[in-house]
Amino acid sequence: MGSAETDMSATTTLSVLVPIYNEEYLVEASLARLETLGDCPTLSRVQIIVVDDGSRDASATAIERFRLALEARPWPGKFEWKFLRHERNRGKGAGIRTGLEHADGELTVIHDADLEYFPEDLKRMVSLFLDQQADAVFGSRFLSGDFRRVLFYRHALANHVLTFLCDLVCDLNLTDMETCYKMVRTELLRDIPLESRDFRIEPELAIKLARRNARIFEVPIRYAGRGYLEGKKIGWRDGVKALGAILRFGLSDRLYREDPAGGEILERLARAPRFSRWMADVIRPYLGQRVLEIGAGTGNLTAQLVPRRFYCATDANATYVAGLAKLRESRPYLQVGQTDGTLLETFPKERDFDSVVCLNVVEHVDNDELILRNIHAVLAPGGRAVILVPRGQWLYGTLDEVLGHRRRYSRDMLRDVGSRAGFDIERIFTFNRVGVAAWWLNGKALRRRTFGLWQTKLLNLLAPLFQRIDRWLPLPSLSWIAILRKPAGTREPEQEIPTVANRETGTG
C-alpha cells in the first residue's frame, strides 16, 4: 500500500493514444492541450501517438500542419511523437489497438481529439499509480469536479443506465463507464485481447479490467461535452451497441491473450473455485506452516491453502506475479516473488521451507530432474514436496500443446525422476478421474485449444459431487500427485546435472 501523499521523487512514463476521425477543426487545438503534461513532475517522459483513423475531411492536413509546427518549435524534451494513419476508417477501437502496438510508456491513456476533455486532469490520475499502486484509473465526469457543461439529459441518463448494467455484470461501483479517460498500466492493457472496433471498446475495457481483478480507481474530471451541431458523433445506436457489448463481454471469458503459459485456460479454471477447493483439500494434509508454492499462476490454489505462518507464492510469469501481489493486502504472512523453477538463484533466499507445492509445473520443462533438485535444495531436512503432474502420454493432445506440456507421466517415470533428484518417495496417488473424459473429448477427439465456458461452469457446479465419487469411478485419472520427502541429514545433490534423457514415451 502506498502513502497518503504522492512521493514526488517517484516518476513514471505515459503513452497518450489519440484516435482521430473527421476532426479537422479541433485536432490541432486538442493536441496542443497536451503540452500541459510537460510540467507534471511525476512524468519523466510523455509519448503521444496520433492515429488518423481514415478521416474523410481535412484532418490529415491539419495533423501535418501541427507536425510541421512541432518541428519549428519543439516541445520540452520529455515529449516524443508518433503519427500513424489508417487508409480507411476502422473505428475508435481499431485506432486504440493500432496506437497500443507502438506504446512503450509504463502507463497508457486514451485522449479524444474533440476538446471535451482536459489533459490537466491526467496529472491527478498518474499520481494514483505511484501512491496507490493502481492498475487502472478512470476519469469520471459524474463525480464532483471543477465544472462540467450542462447538456443532454437523455445522454446522461443513458450513461447512468449503461454504467449501472456494467457494474452489475462486473460487480463494481463505477460512476462513469463510458468515460474516454481510462488510464491503464501498459503491460496489463497489452495482455488483454481487445476485440471492439468502435465505441464498444469502453464497456469492453471496463468489464475485462474488472474480470482481471485490476485495482481500479476513479477521479473527478472536468468535461465540456459538445452538441451535435458542434460535431458530436455518438448517438442512440451507439447506446444500443454498448448494451449488446455489456451482454457479450459479460458472458465472454477472453480475458488473456494467448500465451505459452495458457493464461486463457488458467482464467477459465479461476471460474471453478470449487475445483480448486477440492485440489486444496487433497494436498492440505501434507503441508506444514512454511510453504513455498512454485507456479502459483493466477492464485486459484494459493487462496485456498492460506493462511499459514509463512507462505511464499511464486510464478515465472511477471503478469501472474503482479496479480498474486494483490492477495497480500489482507495477508501479512504472504510473500510473492518471480521464480523460474529451473534456476535456483531465482528461488526465495529462505532455505528451510517445510513444504513446497508444485502443481502442473514439472511437465513444462525439458529437464524435470533439475527443477526437483532445486526444490530439494530449498526444503528443510524432512520437508515434503507435493508434486502434481498430468498422467498418461496416451492422453497427450491439443490442450497439452497450448499449455506447453513436454510430457505426461507414468507412475514409474514420476518415481524415477523423484528418486534421482534425491527424494524418498513417500506416496504417489491418482487425482481427478472424472476429468479424464473431458480432457480426452476436448484435447484428443475435438482437438480444441481451450475449455468452453459452459464446461467450466459445469465443473464448478459439480465439483463437490466429483470429489465424493472420484475414487470409485472405473476410469484412469487425469493426474498423479507425488508426495516426496527430503531425507534428514543428507548432503545436497550437485546442481550441475547432465541433460535428462527424453522420457516422453511412458504410459499411465
User: What pLDDT score does 30 carry?
Assistant: 93
Cβ(143)–Cβ(186) below 8 Å: no
pLDDT score for 322? 81
What is the pLDDT confidence band of residue 235, given thresholds at 50, 70 and 90? low
Cα(480)–Cα(436) distance, integer angstroms: 12
CA–CA separation, 491 vs 410, rounded Å? 28
Neighbours of 57 (CB within 10 A): 12
Confidence of residue 155 (pLDDT cuts 50, 70, 90): low
Write out the three cell numbers for 362.
514439472
Q: What is the pLDDT of residue 402?
A: 81
Above 60 in pLDDT, residue 466? Answer: yes
Q: Each residue of 175-199: pLDDT tens digit?
A: 888 899 999 999 999 989 999 988 8
User: How confident is the model at residue 161, as a pLDDT?
Assistant: 84
**C-alpha span between 235 and 286 (Å, rounded):** 60
Q: Which of the two residues, 261 and 369, has the higher pLDDT score?
A: 369
Q: Give the pLDDT confidence score for residue 298 in this predicted structure.
A: 81
Q: Which strand ranges, in their side-by-side order, compose the sheet holding 216-220?
A: 79-86, 43-53, 12-20, 107-110, 182-185, 136-140, 216-220
- The CA–CA distances, whole Å, from 250 to 48, 167, 256, 420, 456 equal 32, 10, 15, 49, 15
- Give me Rg for the CA atoms of the chain: 26
**Class of the 12-251 domain?**
alpha beta
Question: How many other β-carbons are positioned within 10 Å of the β-carbon of residue 385?
Answer: 26
pLDDT in tens, 306-333: 999 999 999 998 878 887 887 887 889 9
Instruction: Using DSSP bridges, classify how beta strands 182-185 and 216-220 pair: parallel, antiparallel or unpaired.
Output: unpaired
Cα gap 451→104, rounded to integer Å: 33
Residues 467-496 pLDDT 10s: 999 999 999 999 999 999 999 876 554 444
What pLDDT does residue 147 have?
A: 45
Give pLDDT tens digits for 70-113: 999 988 889 999 999 999 999 999 999 999 999 999 999 999 88
Concatenated DSSP letters of 3-47: -SS--TT--EEEEEEEEESS-TTTHHHHHHHGGGGGG-TTEEEEE
**Where do runs of H (alpha helix) occur along 252-341?**
263-270, 273-283, 302-305, 318-325
How far from chain centre, in Å, is Cα 236? 33
* Strand-strand pairing, 290-294 and 216-220: unpaired
CATH topology agreement for domains 12-251 and 273-485: no
Chain-centre distance of CA 153, in angstroms?
37
Q: Provide mean pLDDT across the span 221-235.
A: 59
3-state secondary structure (DSSP) of residue 314: strand
Distance of CA 253 to the CA centre of its chain: 12
Q: Model confidence at 349, in pLDDT bands (50, 70, 90)?
A: confident
Phi, psi for residue 219 in degrees, rounded to 5:
-130, 150
The pLDDT value given to residue 143: 78
Domain ranges of the chain: 12-251, 273-485
Contact 120, 36 (CB under 8 A): yes
Residues β-bridged to residue 43: 12
> Which pLDDT belongs to residue 226?
46
Give me the CATH code for the 273-485 domain, please: 3.40.50.150
The grid coordinates listed for 501 are 534423457
Instruction: Give the CA distances from residue 228 to residues 152, 223, 362, in Å, rounded to whole numbers and listed in that order.
Output: 10, 16, 60
Residue 99 C-alpha cell reads as: 496506437
